[in-house]
C-alpha cells in the first residue's frame, strides 16, 4: 500500500510554530518564576533591613556598683539577652571600694566574661576620688591605669566583641582611649568621659590641668561625632556619660547671654553649650544618657525638648528598644525577666 504523501514545507512550518510556542511558554514560566523569586528576594531584603535597623541596647548605671561585685554581676546577668546589641556599664567600682589594681583586674575579668558586647565608661569613683598612701590625689595615675586595663583594644569587652573607634586613634589625643564611638543601624553611639562630681572641676587657685585638657579633648570629640552623623545622614546620636549635663535646663536667648557673661563653677557648662549648639544643627535625634540618681519614687524616663532627649538610669539596669520605623525612635524598658 502506497505511503501518504507529506508536503514538506507545510510540515516544517508547523514544526517551527510548535517549537516557537513551546519556547514562549517556557520563557513565560521562567519569567514568572524569576519575578516571584525577585519578589521574595525584595521582601527578604526589606525584612532584613528592618531587622538591621531595629535593635536594643542595655544600660547598667554607676549606682549599681554601690552594691559591690555581687550586684554588678546580677545587673550583667539581667542584661544578658540575645536581642541586646551591646551593654554600656558606667563605672567599675563604688567610692567606698579601694582604687587598687587588684580590684580593677577583678572587675575587668567579670565584665569580660559577659556574653554581650560590654562598653565600659569610667565613673568619678573609679579615678577622681582616689588617694595615695599620703592622702593626696592620685586621680591622673589611676585614670591612666584604668585606661590601660579597659581601653587597650579597638573593641568592646565581653565574649562577643563590638568594634569601636577610640579618640586615642587621633595623634593629638592618644591618652583619651575611654572616649569611643560605634554604629548600629543608622544610630551613632559614643561615650564621653564626664565624671559626675562636677566634671572633676576643682575650685582651687591655679590651673586645673586635668579638667582643662580633657575639656579640649571632649570638644574635639563632640565636633567629630556630629560631623560623622551629618556626613552619613544618620538618624540619631546617643551620648553616654556619668555626669548629667542638664542640657534640657540650658537657658536660651537673653538668659543664655547673661549667664555666659557671669562665669560660674559649673564644670559642665561649656560642654552643655556645645552639645546644644551641635544638636540644633543636626536634623536627627540626640539622646543624652547619664547615671544620675533619681529622686525617691521617680522612675527612669526619656524627656524631650525639641530633638534633644535626656535619660538618667538611676539605680536600675535598663534596656532601650530602638526602632526607626516606630513613632518613638527610643523606647525605654526594664531589663531582666
Q: Where does the pLDDT of residue 39 fall: very low under 50, low under 70, confident under 90, or very high at 90 and above?
A: very low
pLDDT for the residue 30: 46
Element (H, E) at 312: strand 308-312
Give the DSSP H/E element, type plus range, for residue 304.
Answer: strand 303-305
User: Which residues neighbour 318 within 8 Å (Cβ) at sequence distance 6 or greater?
Assistant: 58, 59, 61, 300, 332, 333, 334, 335
Of 212, 213, 216, 238, the C-alpha closest to 225 is: 238
Under DSSP, the state recorded for 323 is -
The string of pLDDT tens digits covering residues 49-91 is 444 589 999 999 876 666 678 888 999 998 888 889 999 999 9
DSSP string computed for 176-214: -TT-EEEEETTEEEEE----TTGGG---SSS--HHHHHH
The whole-number pLDDT of residue 263 equals 52
Each residue of 196-215: pLDDT tens digit?
999 999 877 566 889 999 99
Query: pLDDT digits over 237-264, tens only?
Result: 999 999 999 999 876 554 454 445 445 7
25 pLDDT higher than 70: no
Residue 180 has pLDDT above 90, yes or no: yes
Amino acid at each position: 500500500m502506497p505511503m501518504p504523501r507529506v508536503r514538506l514545507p507545510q510540515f516544517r512550518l508547523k514544526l517551527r510554530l510548535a517549537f516557537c510556542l513551546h519556547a514562549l511558554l517556557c520563557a513565560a514560566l521562567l519569567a514568572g518564576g524569576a519575578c516571584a523569586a525577585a519578589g521574595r528576594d525584595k521582601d527578604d531584603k526589606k525584612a532584613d533591613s528592618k531587622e538591621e535597623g531595629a535593635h536594643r541596647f542595655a544600660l547598667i548605671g554607676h549606682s549599681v556598683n554601690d552594691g559591690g561585685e555581687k550586684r554588678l554581676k546580677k545587673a550583667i546577668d539581667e542584661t544578658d539577652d540575645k536581642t541586646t546589641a551591646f551593654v554600656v556599664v558606667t563605672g567599675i567600682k563604688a567610692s567606698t571600694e579601694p582604687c587598687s589594681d587588684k580590684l580593677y583586674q577583678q572587675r575587668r575579668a567579670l565584665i569580660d566574661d559577659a556574653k554581650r558586647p560590654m562598653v565600659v565608661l569610667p565613673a568619678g569613683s573609679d579615678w577622681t576620688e582616689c588617694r595615695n598612701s599620703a592622702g593626696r590625689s592620685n586621680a591622673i595615675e589611676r585614670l591612666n591605669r584604668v585606661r590601660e586595663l579597659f581601653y587597650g583594644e579597638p573593641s568592646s569587652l565581653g565574649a562577643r566583641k563590638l568594634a569601636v573607634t577610640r579618640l586615642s586613634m587621633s595623634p593629638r589625643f592618644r591618652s583619651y582611649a575611654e572616649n569611643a564611638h560605634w554604629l548600629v543601624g543608622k544610630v551613632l553611639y559614643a561615650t564621653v568621659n564626664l565624671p559626675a562630681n562636677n566634671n572633676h572641676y576643682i575650685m582651687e587657685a591655679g590651673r586645673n590641668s586635668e579638667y582643662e585638657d580633657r575639656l579640649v579633648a571632649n570638644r574635639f570629640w563632640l565636633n567629630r561625632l556630629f560631623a560623622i552623623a551629618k556626613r552619613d545622614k544618620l538618624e540619631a546620636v546617643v551620648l553616654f556619660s556619668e555626669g548629667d549635663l542638664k542640657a534640657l535646663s540650658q537657658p536660651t536667648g537673653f538668659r543664655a547671654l547673661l549667664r555666659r557673661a557671669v562665669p560660674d563653677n559649673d564644670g559642665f557648662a561649656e560642654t552643655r553649650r556645645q552639645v546644644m549648639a551641635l544638636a540644633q544643627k543636626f536634623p536627627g535625634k540626640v539622646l543624652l544618657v547619664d547615671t544620675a540618681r533619681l529622686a525617691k519614687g521617680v522612675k527612669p524616663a526619656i524627656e524631650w525638648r525639641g530633638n534633644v532627649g535626656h535619660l538618667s538610669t538611676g539605680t536600675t539596669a535598663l534596656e532601650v528598644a530602638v526602632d526607626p520605623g516606630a513613632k518613638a525612635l527610643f523606647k525605654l524598658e526594664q531589663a531582666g525577666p
